[in-house]
Chain A
Amino acid sequence: MRRALGLAAIAAFVLPLAARAQSKPDFTGTWTVDPAKSDPVPAGRGAASGTLTIKQTGQEVLFVNEGRQGPQLLMYRLDGSESTNQVVGRGGTTPLKSKAKWDGSSLVVETTRELNGISIATKEVRRLSNAGKEMEVETTIQTPQGEQKRKTIFTKDIQFADPCKVNPTLPICGHH
């Protein structure tokens, strides 16, 4: 009985830590939209296409989006502090102010931008599924006209970013 209680106490302490350690998935990789599994794109916004490359470290996450104006780079700090990115669009460069944070195993990015004097708030909730081969993004856009929600499914086609993590015998890796 005492042993069972001891194990339960250890489990109560260790399991939340393990769950916490596992609750930060790595989104690093290159992702392609799967139109068949995604919600349709609203009329007038073009087809769902293109690739998104993500690079994640402990402190930040970097998105490279293949946009119509060329590659767009967005960098978010993961400590909940505000990050500012510049996005090039048809009307010129627009600053985006974002805050990224973890909500369990989901990465939540909340962004505000000014468009023609109107403030638009976007919330993206990003999580991995299908053993990390798919990424689900729930986007909620708040505008004065109301709320729009959309789910996009990406499939992964990236393998690695740091060669030393794949093969540490390269001379640069300091392997002995």
Chain B
Amino acid sequence: MPGQHRIDWEAAKTRTDAIVPWITVFGLIAGGVYSLVEYRNHERDRRIEATMAYVTRYMAPPLSDYRAVLVKRWQAHEADLLAVLKNSSLTPAELNRQYSAGVLAMVTADELALPIQETVLFFEQLANCVTLKLCESDAVNSMLAGQAQEFLHQYYPYVCHLRQEWNDPAIARQLEQVFNAQSMGKDICR
């Protein structure tokens, strides 16, 4: 019939054969990207959940009780420690020696070994959790990293004492590495 448009089935099939693999590839890529994003989100949620479990543990007994004891005893000895830290006539070595002696005397007199050891253990576990990427480092940094660093700054003489007494330089190493990286490679127990 004149003017009637006839479909060229051969050409259409050729075009379709050429397009279908591309659609399949795009579909696979889009699906793969979606799955990857979903997986990453799920993994992040899981890491945040693990981090929140640590925060909850930190805020509950017995750790909260240990922390209360440490804060209280620190305050009681604070004036003596401050006098050492503010003594500008001391060399860095003598400052370290006197500060360490003050902290170790406080730990002995006030029986703070258990609260410190338990807190070290907690922060070591948290540091491991961050290192193994089982905890979300951003969440840890915003919630517990400051506490961990300040704790290490206060009680590093006792950490050094433990390393020496147990002949194990790895004690609190993870804690130091994750939360106080600036002292890594330096001998804090000199």
- Least distance between B101 CB and chain A CB atoms (Å): 13
Decide if B23 is an interface residue (CB 8 Å cutoff).
Answer: no
CA of A161 to CA of B78, assembled, Å: 8
Binding site for A on B (CB under 8 A): 59-61, 64-65, 67-69, 71-72, 74-75, 78-79, 81-82, 85-86, 92, 95-96, 99, 142-143, 146-147, 150, 152-154, 156, 180, 182-183, 186-190
- Least distance between A160 CB and chain B CB atoms (Å): 6
Q: Within 8 Å CB of A62, what residues of B?
A: 67, 71
Name the residue among A30, A57, A59, A163 with the largest chain B CB count within 10 angstroms: A163
Q: Within 8 Å CB of A55, what residues of B?
A: 71
Q: Do the beta carbons of A169 and B92 come within 8 Å of each other?
A: yes
Q: Do the beta carbons of B154 and A166 come within 8 Å of each other?
A: no
Q: Within 8 Å CB of B81, what residues of A?
A: 163
Name the residue among A166, A171, A172 with the largest chain B CB count within 10 angstroms: A172
Q: Do the beta carbons of B85 and A167 come within 8 Å of each other?
A: yes
Q: What are the nearest 9 A-B pairs in CB distance?
A: A174-B182, A71-B68, A167-B85, A172-B156, A166-B85, A30-B75, A73-B64, A171-B188, A169-B92
**Contact of A163 (CB < 8 Å), options: B64, B153, B183:** B153
When C-beta atoms are compared, the residue in chain A nearest to B152 turns out to be A172
Q: Within 8 Å CB of B68, what residues of A?
A: 64, 71-73
Q: Do the beta carbons of A167 and B71 come within 8 Å of each other?
A: no
CA of A72 to CA of B67, assembled, Å: 10
CA of A155 to CA of B190, assembled, Å: 39
CA of A173 to CA of B85, assembled, Å: 13
CA of A163 to CA of B85, assembled, Å: 7
Q: Do the beta carbons of A174 and B64 come within 8 Å of each other?
A: no
**Contact of A53 (CB < 8 Å), options: B72, B99, B183, B186:** B72
Q: Do the beta carbons of A160 and B82 come within 8 Å of each other?
A: yes
Decide if A23 is an interface residue (CB 8 Å cutoff).
Answer: no
Q: Within 8 Å CB of B74, what residues of A?
A: 161
When C-beta atoms are compared, the residue in chain B nearest to A172 turns out to be B156
**Contact of A57 (CB < 8 Å), options: B61, B86, B146, B154:** B146
Chain A interface residue count, Cβ-Cβ cutoff 8 angstroms: 32
Within 8 A of B (CB), among A77-113: 85-86
Q: Do the beta carbons of B150 and A162 come within 8 Å of each other?
A: yes
Q: A45-64 toward B: CB 8 Å interface, digit per residue (1/0)?
A: 00000010101011110101
Q: Do the beta carbons of A159 and B153 come within 8 Å of each other?
A: no
Q: Do the beta carbons of A71 and B86 come within 8 Å of each other?
A: no
Q: Do the beta carbons of B150 and A170 come within 8 Å of each other?
A: no
Decide if A8 is an interface residue (CB 8 Å cutoff).
Answer: no
**Contact of A167 (CB < 8 Å), options: B78, B86, B150:** B86
Q: Do the beta carbons of B153 and A164 come within 8 Å of each other?
A: yes
**Contact of A170 (CB < 8 Å), options: B59, B75, B95, B146:** B95
Q: Within 8 Å CB of B86, what residues of A?
A: 166-167
Q: Within 8 Å CB of A53, what residues of B?
A: 71-72, 75
CA of A161 to CA of B72, assembled, Å: 11
Name the residue among A58, A62, A73 with the largest chain B CB count within 10 angstroms: A73
Q: Do the beta carbons of A158 and B75 come within 8 Å of each other?
A: yes
CA of A60 to CA of B150, assembled, Å: 14
When C-beta atoms are compared, the residue in chain A nearest to B63 turns out to be A73
Q: Do the beta carbons of B147 and A57 come within 8 Å of each other?
A: yes
